[in-house]
Structure 1
Amino acid sequence: MTYTVEKTEVLIIGAGPAGSVAAAMLRQRGRQVLMLEKQAFPRFSIGESLLPQSMEYIEAAGLLQDVVQAGFQYKNGAAFVHGDKRTGFDFRDKFSAGWGTTYQVQRANFDDVLARGAERMGTTLRFGDEVIAVEPGENPAVQVRRPDGSEYRIEASFILDASGFARLLPRLLQLESPSNFPVRGAIFCHVRDHIPADAEFDRNKILITTHPQHIDVWYWTIPFSNGCCSLGVVAEPSFFERYPGEDLDKLKAIVAEDPNLSRLLVNAEWAVLPVRRITGYSANVSSLWGPGYALLGNAGEFLDPVFSSGVTIAFKSAQLAADCLEKRFSGQVVDWEAEFAIPLRAGVKTFRRFVEAWYAGGFQKIIYHQQQQPEVRRMVCSILAGYAWDSKNPYVDDPSGRRLRVLEELCSA
């Protein structure tokens, strides 16, 4: 069969945050970019609470005003509650230099804002076209199916897979490898919260609540600017099966077990967006790059939603890939392992240490400790704000995790 053939310098698969920021960065440098998105935008996605570090990449991509003008909920920190214990982190009071504020976003709108911004900067953007086959190599190519069923071929100098949880190239090229994280799931929806005016709740912060009896079960409450919240609970799948009914019934029952959340949401209108469930979202790959391609964001690795690191990691991968491609197009040799994979995974590893410590309970002892040293607190705050690549921070420059373990022991004494 003969297909129409198109050519481009960079083909990006997926118009989520990683793809759009990479496209905008590449367009700033004069590169020809074609971005394909299987779904129609706007569309729902999870990962709604940004970290301040992400603003650096949005600004560098030339998309800052697009985001600022969209009317998203301002965010300056994170609040934590476990029973009668409360603490909060103001991201403006942190160890690392850089942004201390960001936004909490409905991803349907946020992703559309970024994609349209990349298009405004000259990216060719197509919705509804699906990549169904890929040929990696020095001159990679893909086969694409249009919504009407017809097909065409794209030949590119390089391919960036930003397909998110669809993980297109890992599936097509058998790159997936098991995650060593325990299998967890999340049940979540949007509610019109009607939180009482006298409630102890700061709409400028994400609220993370630990289940009263189960240290490894937690809830997120992410306020939006339209009077709604994203509300979810994360646990191992067997935990959800203790509760009868549909997923909305399960979510309501688990929320009812926490007195603080019950008070906050006493007037809530539930499921203004339908309840959803995802399970086994942690992902890994054998390699983040290969001949003629690299994997961005969730297409490569995803840890866990507890510290909202997903979009920041996606943006970091976009920045690293754009830098590598600019070097490549200028005629220089790129070591994708040393210049892309290793630095990206360094920050992922930092987040991983803190995620593992959260579920084991040690990090929760740290954040609720009554006698916190201000400088150490600011170092921890920097990582919660997304600065997982700041090697000046002792808790980032800690490949063995020894400093974090010592801190846990001190806070457990």
Structure 2
Amino acid sequence: MDKSRQNKVIIIGAGPSGSIAGALLRQKGYPVTILERQRFPRFSIGESLLPQCMEFIKAAGMLDAVVNAGFQFKNGAAFAYGDHYTEFDFEDKFSAGIGTTFQVQRGRFDALLADEAARMGVDIHWQMEVKSVDFSGPQTHLTVADTEGQVYDYTADFVLDASGFGRILPRLLDLESPSGFPVRQALFGHIEDRITDPKFDRNKILITVHPEHKDVWFWLIPFSNGRSSIGVVAEQTFYTPGEDYGAKLQGLIAQAPGLRRILQDAVFDDKINTLVGYSANVKSLYGKGYALLGNAGEFLDPVFSSGVTIAMKSATLASAVLDRQFRGESVDWEHDYAQPLKRGVDTFRVFVDAWYEGRFQDVIFHPNQQPEVKAMICSILAGYAWDQNNPYVKNARSRLDTLTELCRAGG
């Protein structure tokens, strides 16, 4: 490999946002190089996709590959709390668009998207880590190292940071900003689930609220091979430093009767991982010669599985703005990229806040749900958080506040 390479666009990271952005830019004829620090497949969370993702995958020309990959079909989300149970069928949503999706092992899914991007002509350089960047000149200069310590110089007209939790440019450019959320910690892993409960629907993610702590919740994401992803989320202070994460997770599951029954025969045969303080924000989503995609810019919380959707939305928006910029049009990255992206992120944020406050739980477990309102809520849970025709998107906070008051008053 030449130690000095010139590129039109460099994307840092080959995850969903990087692969989608790369494919979309290749469709427009631009040379694209992706620099990926790891070698795929590799483990990642964010395994329960939302239907909105399928629209972005379709636009990138990858839909057939994903549909034919054998992933677990997903048509909705189910919520459980004590004796309460409710579910949302995404095809009953208010917004137009695809209403089903998949639950995926991210190692295989991300590798599939990257392979599709490469098939379309995206040049992916694996196990290449960006060490420094210089945006001071007319072109961006990146210093990159491989696993053997060899150093390479890359030059690009524009850089998209799709590095996820690696957050390369936020770290190198001092863009990190507090998220505003409490520091939460997730314990998670894959299990052989051995689920035989006839009432359990493998076509839905199951979110279970802890019976005593309403801000502690579990996810159960079934895969197509008899395995599942299981995890628990709580504030960091809920855990004891140094405790056995596997034992802690199983102990918490035992405290939730419904989840304990579903997983009574499960085999915990894999490592239980942890992620602490994952919520993140930045001072700006763009700058001279760069833009931040997905988790590199902002990550809220895993509760509504919004991370991959936001990542793909950011890739779609940024690719469109960059295409216009390359064609000589006048673009405004704040107006054309940051603000549109944040509108959907802020909608998700309203519902995440309400979830941990217990307000949204009072809404979804209310016994007398109105079909029209449920369809509007369903659209947001399906990822259509940018649909301004939906009153619960356009006026998310005021609408949800009013709905919560009505539900708590017995309406």
Q: Which bin holds the TM-score, normalised by the shorter protein?
A: over 0.9
Letter in 2 for 1:227: G
Matching residue within 330, 354, 357 for 1:357: 354
Q: Which residue of 2 aligns with 1:205?
A: 204
Q: Which residue of 2 aligns with 1:370?
A: 367
Matched, 1:389 2:383: no
Q: Which residue of 2 aligns with 1:306?
A: 303
Matched, 1:165 2:165: yes
- Whether the 8 Å contact between 1:365 and 1:408 is mirrored in structure 2 is yes
The Cα shift of 1:199 comes to: 3.6
The Cα shift of 1:4 comes to: 2.8
Q: Equivalent residues in 2 for 1:280-295 (5 A)?
A: 280-295=277-292
Q: Equivalent residues in 2 for 1:17-96 (5 A)?
A: 17-96=16-95
RMSD: 1.1
Task: Give 5+ residue unaligned stretches, structure 1.
Answer: none
Per-residue deviation, residues 6-34 of structure 1 (Å, max 9, x unmatched): 11110000000000000000111111000
Q: Which residue of 1 aligns with 2:255?
A: 257
Report the 3-state secondary structure (helix = DSSP H, G, I; strand = E; otherwise coil) of the residue aligned with 1:320: helix
Separation (CA, whole Å) in 2 of partners of 1:66 and 1:24: 14
Letter in 2 for 1:71: G
Separation (CA, whole Å) in 1 of partners of 2:110 and 2:307: 14
Per-residue deviation, residues 100-123 of structure 1 (Å, max 9, x unmatched): 000000000000000000000000
Q: Which residue of 2 aligns with 1:402?
A: 398
Task: Give 5+ residue unaligned stretches, structure 2.
Answer: none
Q: Equivalent residues in 2 for 1:144-293 (5 A)?
A: 144-196=144-196, 198-241=197-240, 245-272=243-270, 274-293=271-290
Separation (CA, whole Å) in 2 of partners of 1:277 and 1:209: 19
Q: Which residue of 2 aligns with 1:132?
A: 131
The Cα shift of 1:322 comes to: 0.5
Separation (CA, whole Å) in 2 of partners of 1:245 and 1:390: 44
Separation (CA, whole Å) in 1 of partners of 2:155 and 2:210: 51
Q: Matched residue pairs, number?
A: 407
Separation (CA, whole Å) in 1 of partners of 2:41 and 2:178: 31
Matched, 1:331 2:299: no
Separation (CA, whole Å) in 2 of partners of 1:372 and 1:249: 38
The Cα shift of 1:69 comes to: 1.6
Separation (CA, whole Å) in 2 of partners of 1:164 and 1:322: 17
Q: Give identity over the alignment, percent.
A: 59
TM-score for both structures, normalised by structure 1: 0.97
- Whether the 8 Å contact between 1:130 and 1:144 is mirrored in structure 2 is yes
Separation (CA, whole Å) in 2 of partners of 1:403 and 1:297: 27
The Cα shift of 1:72 comes to: 0.4
Matched, 1:6 2:2: no
Per-residue deviation, residues 273-320 of structure 1 (Å, max 9, x unmatched): x11000100000000000000000000000000000000000000000
Q: Which residue of 2 aligns with 1:110?
A: 109
The Cα shift of 1:271 comes to: 3.4
Per-residue deviation, residues 24-57 of structure 1 (Å, max 9, x unmatched): 0011111100001000100000100000001000
Separation (CA, whole Å) in 2 of partners of 1:213 and 1:221: 19
Bigger shift: residues 390-399 or 205-214: 390-399
Letter in 2 for 1:336: W
The Cα shift of 1:147 comes to: 1.7
Per-residue deviation, residues 90-142 of structure 1 (Å, max 9, x unmatched): 00001000010000000000000000000000000111111100112441121
- Whether the 8 Å contact between 1:189 and 1:271 is mirrored in structure 2 is no
Separation (CA, whole Å) in 1 of partners of 2:82 and 2:148: 54
Separation (CA, whole Å) in 2 of partners of 1:259 and 1:391: 39
Separation (CA, whole Å) in 2 of partners of 1:14 and 1:204: 30
- Whether the 8 Å contact between 1:27 and 1:123 is mirrored in structure 2 is yes
Separation (CA, whole Å) in 2 of partners of 1:127 and 1:195: 38
Separation (CA, whole Å) in 2 of partners of 1:128 and 1:374: 50
Structure 1 moving runs of 4+ over 6 Å? none
